[in-house]
Amino acid sequence: MAVTLEYERINISRGGRPVLVDIDLVLPAGGLVALTGASGAGKTTLLRITNRLLAPDSGRLLIDGADAANEPGPQLRRRIGYAAQGVGLFPHWTVGDNIAAVPWLNGMERQGRDRLVLEMLDLVELPQSFASRMPAALSGGQASRVGLARALAARPGLLLLDEPFAALDPETRNELADRIEALHKAQGLTTLLVTHDLADALTRATRILVLDGGRLVADATPAALVADPHPAVQALIASPLDQARRLVRLTE
């Protein structure tokens, strides 16, 4: 079941420097929300507050109306799908054990986990034989898919993706983005995706949040954002648009 997120006046600072300032935000269930902005804008911090890898200095986060601070962190995080930046598969576990990590933490039996692994491999379109492979034998794109399968194995209502496309070649990147979009719809998820690349955000998301210096400076649909860009967003839009125009010119 997709999840509703409500951020209420979230503030957090590190070493005296504000990282997020007064974030007030409601994300209704079912959105594919892209969180973007320049490096150091606070994107990853907001993502990590969402599954309480970080606690805000003030303000609160409600998940389906309940204060996230009231639940022990590890337990909360097992209900939230998380794909770490750089994937971070456990290199000493097989692909299958990686995928079934959260169900295993929740105490699911071996047989149930084995069945689930095959199902998840189908879901991310990897051969079932991959279950017994070690992560070192995977390509970058394959590892990203396994990371996605691990995030989804416990059937979360919320999926958090931290720069899922970093370090992938454009073709693989596109395939993975298609897969995420499809899974988002098929699994009925609320998805929050951090990316520093506005092109990804513009072409995939239903809603785009732009952070600048810890403040939320834009919150709009892709179409609205392109039509009437906030000054801080203009620079972010300019370069992908420019790239796109040059490509179009080349094909003419």
Partner 1 sequence: MIANAAWDRAIGMLPDRMAAHLGVSAAAVGLALLIAVPVVLVMAGRPRLRAAVLTAAGVVQTVPALALLALFYPLLLALSALTERLAGFGVPALGFLPSMLALTLYALLPLLRGGADGLASVPPATLDAADGIGMTRGQRLLHVELPMAAPIIIGGLRTAAVWTIGAATLATTVGQKSLGDLIFAGLQLEDWALVVTGCLAAAALAIITDMALWRVETGIAARKWRKAGLGGALLAAMVAAVLALWWNARPPETAERPVVVGAKSFGEQYILAELIASRLREQGLAVTVRSGLGSAVAFRALTAGDIDLYVDYSGTLWSNALGRTDVAPRASMIATLRTELPRRHKVQVAAVLGFENAYALAMQRTDAERLGIASLADLARQSDRLRLATDTEFQSREEWAALQRAYGLRFARLTAYTPTLMVRALIGGEADVMTAFSSDGRIAADDLTLLTDPAGALPSYDAMLLIGPTRPDLARRLQALEGRIAVEAMRQANWQVDRATDKRTPEQAARWLAGRIAEK
Q: For residues 191-230, which are near partner 1 according to CB under 8 A?
A: none
The interface region with partner 1, picked from 74-82, 125-133, 169-177, 223-231 by CB under 8 A, is 74-82
Q: How far is the CB of 75 from partner 1 (least distance, A)?
A: 7
Q: For residues 151-170, which are near partner 1 according to CB under 8 A?
A: 151, 160
Q: Is residue 78 at the binding interface for partner 1, with CB under 8 A as the rule?
A: yes
Between CA 39 and CA 176 the distance in angstroms is: 23
Residue of 74, 107, 170, 231 interacting with partner 1 (CB under 8 A): 74
Q: Is residue 130 at the binding interface for partner 1, with CB under 8 A as the rule?
A: no
The interface region with partner 1, picked from 59-67, 115-123, 143-151, 230-238 by CB under 8 A, is 143-151
Q: Is residue 150 at the binding interface for partner 1, with CB under 8 A as the rule?
A: yes
Q: Give me the residues paired with residue 238 across strands.
A: none
- Two tokens, residue 25: 């935000």
Q: Give CB contacts under 8 A, 24+ apart, made by 47-50.
A: 47/160, 47/162, 47/192, 47/194, 49/7, 49/10, 49/12, 49/20, 50/5, 50/80, 50/158, 50/160, 50/192
Which among 124, 115, 245, 235 has a CA at the least distance from the CA of 181? 124
Residue of 88, 141, 213, 222 interacting with partner 1 (CB under 8 A): 88
Whose tokens are 């639940």? That residue is: 71
Residues that bind partner 1 (CB under 8 A): 51, 53, 73-78, 82, 84-92, 101-102, 105, 147, 150-151, 160
